[in-house]
């Protein structure tokens, strides 16, 4: 019996997030109020009573999801005993904090810096992403590789669902060619830029020093990292893969397959939403999945 705890990425935010944790758990309240001090503004006011649009602000979205996830993990107390962890994109930082590889304050500072660095990279290179449904990964990769311009596979979410990332022009060309090749849908996403593509190189360079100067400890269990989908416990390797993450694809399909191959028998999603549970069900419909539940 092996439990995998997984942590969601951007897009899982919702108005009112983490308010029940703040109001019902003293440790959660302490962590969230400390986060307000670290960030220099009251992010909790936006999380608890802000609008959906306010939650989409660059400086808010990623730290808010991170905070909901890591505070939830802390509230699980002794019941949080993972055999393995992973996080989707931003969620990798949440997973590292929950698994004691990163300190809470260090993790929050990195996430806040990451969000702003990504925003600046988006402003330098106007770009976008698109979800491709119903086509083999290898076919998507092949078509993208032949297109003149930057367009790459960015998020391997589950079999038959691959998100591509690149310049606006190259994404338009790719969507047309992938639809012609038999994709059920090629849907451009309402995102600010080409995440997990070479166009994020300015953000990667900006974050490199911050990550290099952050202490990373041996986690309490292996973390399956986005860049290569393999379980890691070596702090040096974890750091290097964190640096590479912004310009590399999120290999979530491969992470799920790896966790199952390594004996995962249950998946618990920690944080807002149920997206990752749904993706695991696409790989193994009989796998027990659930949202983390805390007690006061």
The single residue of 94, 127, 196, 197 carrying the catalytic annotation is 196
Is residue 196 part of the annotated active site? The answer reads yes
Is residue 22 part of the annotated active site? The answer reads no
- Using alpha carbons, list the distances in angstroms from residue 161 to 10, 136, 189, 253, 260: 17, 9, 13, 9, 19
Is residue 265 within 8 Å of residue 3, measured between CB atoms?
Answer: yes
Q: Which residues contact 145 (CB under 8 A, 6 or more apart)?
A: none
The single residue of 22, 69, 88, 89 carrying the catalytic annotation is 89
Catalytic amino acids? 89, 196
């Amino acid at each position: 019996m092996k439990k995998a705890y997984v942590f969601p990425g951007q897009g899982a935010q919702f108005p009112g997030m983490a308010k029940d944790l703040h109001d019902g758990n003293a440790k959660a309240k302490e962590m969230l109020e400390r986060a307000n001090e670290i960030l220099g503004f009251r992010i909790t006011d936006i999380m608890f009573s802000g609008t959906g649009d306010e939650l989409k602000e660059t400086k808010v979205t990623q730290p808010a999801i991170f905070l909901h996830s890591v505070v939830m993990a802390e509230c699980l107390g002794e019941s949080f005993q993972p055999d393995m962890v992973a996080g989707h994109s931003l969620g990798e930082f949440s997973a590292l904090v929950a698994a004691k590889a990163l300190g809470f304050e260090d993790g929050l500072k990195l996430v806040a810096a990451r969000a702003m660095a990504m925003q600046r990279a988006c402003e330098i290179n106007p770009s976008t992403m698109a979800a491709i449904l119903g086509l083999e990964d290898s076919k998507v990769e092949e078509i993208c590789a032949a297109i003149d311009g930057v367009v790459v596979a960015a998020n391997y979410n589950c079999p038959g669902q691959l998100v591509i990332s690149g310049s606006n022009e190259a994404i338009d060309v790719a969507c047309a060619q992938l639809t012609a090749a038999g994709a059920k849908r090629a849907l451009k996403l309402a995102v600010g830029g080409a995440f997990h593509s070479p166009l994020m190189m300015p953000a990667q360079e900006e974050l490199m020093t911050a990550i290099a100067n952050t202490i990373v400890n041996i986690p309490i269990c292996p973390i399956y990292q986005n860049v290569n989908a393999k379980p890691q416990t070596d702090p040096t390797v974890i750091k290097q893969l964190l640096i590479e993450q912004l310009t590399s694809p999120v290999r979530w399909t491969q992470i799920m397959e790896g966790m199952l191959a390594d004996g995962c028998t249950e998946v618990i999603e920690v944080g807002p939403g149920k997206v990752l549970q749904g993706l695991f069900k696409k790989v193994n419909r009989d796998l027990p999945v659930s949202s983390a539940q805390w007690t006061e």
